[in-house]
């Protein structure tokens, strides 16, 4: 094989870490087979762990790394001169590199068989990668730790595993989103239909790319925040008795006309997305650490005092519709329950016409209350966590009021430091590991206590 051809092929292979791991495993298997065939003893088994220390394999790996480095330097020099070569790598190129031959010519049947082996190897490599985190998590339990209780239903665990494998095979699972609970939320949003969930997931990834969601903290500054809160009072304040963050909107005080005089609808949507990202990056993790269990849903209170049909202007309807679509398509199943308070006859009439269009599962989470709502809220939220204007005792007087304080565990410096260190993340276990460790209970739930190093 021409060395320059090999280097060119290697430099253009745009496969991810998992496929690279699969290629190495596949090559290792081929070398093992060659050694087995050349062995004087027909029945001699090849120890793959021993093979990893094989000088021949180490030399091959070192040569490849050196070739890659040299080629990268060469390409960088060409780029500086205004040159460059870009082309697609075919399956034949990839298989040729894996099997050690150039211009490989394989039959359709051989191609399918080989690619099937590579996909299996990719899944195997992915599982090894995932399991390595479990082992690391266990080692961390030897130091001071916070245990986060994470309950997995056995059937849900199976469904998430099936979705995960499907996403890996179609290259739809960036490392950032390789999260059990995120995949479970998307599955629930599509009633555990894998194909529909996969489409929702794919659309979400495309939306994030087009919207610029992954760089929104660096790219977008909402300078008009103070004025916006004045015309659209809303924000997080405290947690409920289960540790979930409480989100409050005073819809009756919204002035859509003035709101759109200090900002635009597009900018408000961007602000909304930025705050949702902050909730997932900081608020939910902080609540998980404080409650010592996984939290990825919120309790919402909508104060609709004075809201009637005339309140829903064209601008208000458009804003609500866009917000609901953004949330439903890209952050599904984040609402645990909602209390609509101070609902008068006008709003109740509006609600009765709207709820017929909603999923029964969604309407079951929504409780419409009149003006005697305080006792119901206090069943769910401690009075110290509830603003005084909602029947609680909190005023946040030293922070400009409850709607401006952003009160919650995420304001605790120690908890925030733990979040920044990634100590809120749960160790993911496969179903086989859970069964082996005998953590599946009679009601088919898996209870795993996850040690997180301080």
How does 191-227 read in b/e, with b if 16+ C-beta sit within 10 Å? ebeeeebbebbeebbeebeeeebeebeeeeeeebeee
Length of the chain: 454
Q: Indicate the range of 76-80, 176-180, 362-366, 438-442 predicted with least confidence.
A: 438-442
Spatial CA neighbour of 28 closest among 104, 115, 121, 105: 121
The one-character DSSP state at 323 is H
> Average model confidence (pLDDT) for the chain?
77
Task: Give 297-344 pLDDT, tens digit per residue.
Answer: 999 999 999 887 777 788 888 888 899 999 999 999 999 999 999 999
The dihedral built from the CA positions of residue 236, 237, 238 and 241, taken in this order, carries a sign that is negative
**Which whole-number Å values give the CA distances from 170 to 52, 61, 113, 173, 174, in the listed order?**
29, 28, 18, 8, 11
Q: Which residues are CB-contacts of 304 (< 8 A; sequence separation ≥ 6)?
A: 251, 252, 340, 341, 342, 343, 344, 347
pLDDT of residue 49: 47
User: What's phi and psi for 395, nearest 5 deg?
Assistant: -125, -20
Q: Is the pLDDT of residue 138 over 80?
A: no
Rounded to whole angstroms, what are the CA distances from 55 to 52, 58, 350?
Answer: 9, 5, 76
Residue 428's pLDDT is what? Answer: 47
**Using CA atoms, how far apart are residues 283 and 427, in angstroms rounded to an integer?**
19
Q: Is 186 left (phi over 0), alpha (psi -120 to 50) or beta?
A: alpha
Q: Indicate the pLDDT class of residue 208, thresholds 50, 70 and 90.
A: very high
In this prediction, residue 196 has a pLDDT band, given cuts at 50, 70 and 90, of: very high
Centre a 10 Å sphere on the Cβ of residue 41 and count the other Cβ atoms it contains: 7
Q: What is the mean pLDDT of residues 35-48?
A: 47
d(CA 93, CA 100): 10
- Pairwise CA distance, residues 262 & 254, whole Å: 13
Sign of CA dihedral 132, 445, 245, 365: positive
Check whether 383 has a pLDDT greater than 90: yes
Whether the CB-CB separation of 235 and 288 falls below 8 Å is answered with no
Locus of tokens 């040569």: 63
pLDDT, tens digit, for every residue of 227-281? Answer: 999 999 999 999 999 999 999 999 989 888 899 999 999 999 999 999 999 999 9
- DSSP secondary structure letters along 442-454: TTSEEEEEEEEE-
pLDDT at 269: 97
Residue 393: what pLDDT? 97
- Give the pLDDT confidence score for residue 122 in this predicted structure: 53
Q: Which residues contact 6 (CB under 8 A, 6 or more apart)?
A: 67, 97, 102
**Concatenated DSSP letters of 80-135:** HTT-----PPPHHHHHHHHHT-SS----HHHHHHHHHHHHHHHHHHHHHHHHHHHH
Give the mean pLDDT of 125-141.
44
Instruction: In whole angstroms, give the CA distance from residue 328 to residue 312.
Output: 21
> So what's the pLDDT on residue 142?
32
DSSP string for 248-275: EE-GGG--HHHHHHHS-HHHHHHHHHHH
Q: Do residues 342 and 372 make contact, with C-beta atoms less than 8 angstroms apart?
A: no
Instruction: Give the pLDDT confidence score for residue 441 in this predicted structure.
Output: 42
* 322-325-326-327 Cα dihedral, nearest 10 degrees: 120
16 band by pLDDT with thresholds 50, 70 and 90 = very low
Q: Binning pLDDT at 50, 70 and 90, where does residue 422 land?
A: confident
Under 8 Å between Cβ of 217 and 275: no
Q: Residues 307, 347: contact at Cβ < 8 Å?
A: yes
Sort residue 212 into left (φ over 0), alpha (ψ -120 to 50) or beta: left
Angstrom CA distances, 178 to 184, 266, 311, stand at 11, 29, 42
Q: Are 203 and 233 in contact (CB under 8 A)?
A: no
End-to-end CA separation in angstroms for the chain: 52
Q: Which residue has the higher pLDDT, 245 or 420?
A: 245
The predicted model gives 115-132 an average pLDDT of: 54
What pLDDT is attached to residue 307?
84
Residue 119's pLDDT is 56
Give residue 226's pLDDT band: very low, low, confident or very high (50, 70, 90).
Answer: very high
């Amino acid at each position: 094989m021409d060395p320059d051809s090999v280097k060119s092929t290697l430099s253009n292979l745009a496969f991810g870490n998992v496929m690279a791991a699969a290629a190495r495993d596949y090559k290792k298997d081929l070398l093992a087979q060659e050694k087995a065939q050349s062995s004087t003893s027909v029945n001699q088994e090849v120890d793959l762990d021993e093979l990893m220390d094989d000088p021949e394999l180490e030399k091959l790996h070192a040569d490849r790394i050196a070739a890659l480095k040299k080629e990268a330097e060469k390409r960088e020099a060409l780029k500086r001169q205004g040159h460059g070569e870009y082309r697609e790598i075919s399956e034949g190129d990839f298989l040729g590199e894996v099997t050690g031959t150039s211009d490989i010519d394989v039959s359709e049947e051989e191609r399918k068989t080989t690619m099937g082996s590579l996909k299996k190897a990719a899944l195997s490599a992915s599982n090894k990668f995932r399991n390595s985190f479990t082992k690391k998590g266990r080692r961390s339990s030897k130091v001071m730790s916070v245990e986060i209780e994470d309950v997995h239903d056995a059937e849900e665990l199976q469904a998430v595993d099936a979705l995960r494998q499907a996403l890996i095979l179609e290259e739809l699972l960036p490392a950032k989103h390789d999260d059990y609970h995120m995949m479970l939320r998307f599955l629930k949003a599509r009633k555990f239909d894998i194909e529909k969930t996969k489409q929702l997931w794919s659309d979400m990834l495309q939306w994030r790319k087009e919207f610029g969601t992954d760089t929104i903290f660096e790219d977008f500054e909402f300078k008009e925040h103070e004025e916006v809160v004045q015309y659209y009072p809303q924000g997080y304040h405290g947690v409920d008795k289960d540790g979930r963050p409480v989100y409050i909107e005073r819809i009756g005080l919204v002035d859509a006309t003035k709101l759109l005089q200090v900002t635009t609808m597009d900018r408000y949507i961007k602000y909304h997305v930025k705050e949702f990202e902050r909730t997932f990056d900081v608020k939910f993790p902080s609540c998980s650490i404080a409650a010592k269990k996984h939290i990825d849903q919120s309790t919402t209170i909508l104060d609709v005092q004075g809201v009637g049909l005339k309140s829903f202007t064209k601008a208000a309807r458009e804003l609500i519709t866009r917000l609901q679509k953004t949330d439903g398509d890209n952050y599904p199943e984040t609402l645990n329950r909602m209390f609509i308070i101070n609902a008068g006859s006008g709003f109740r009439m509006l609600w009765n016409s709207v709820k017929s269009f909603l999923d029964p599962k969604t309407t079951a989470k929504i409780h419409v209350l009149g003006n005697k709502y305080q006792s119901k809220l206090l069943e769910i939220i401690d009075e110290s966590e509830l603003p005084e204007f909602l029947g609680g005792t909190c005023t946040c007087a030293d922070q400009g009021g409850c709607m401006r304080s952003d009160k919650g565990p995420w304001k605790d410096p120690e908890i925030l430091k733990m979040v920044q260190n990634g100590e809120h993340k749960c160790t993911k276990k496969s179903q086989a590991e859970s069964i082996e460790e005998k953590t599946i209970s009679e009601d088919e739930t898996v209870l795993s206590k996850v040690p997180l190093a301080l």
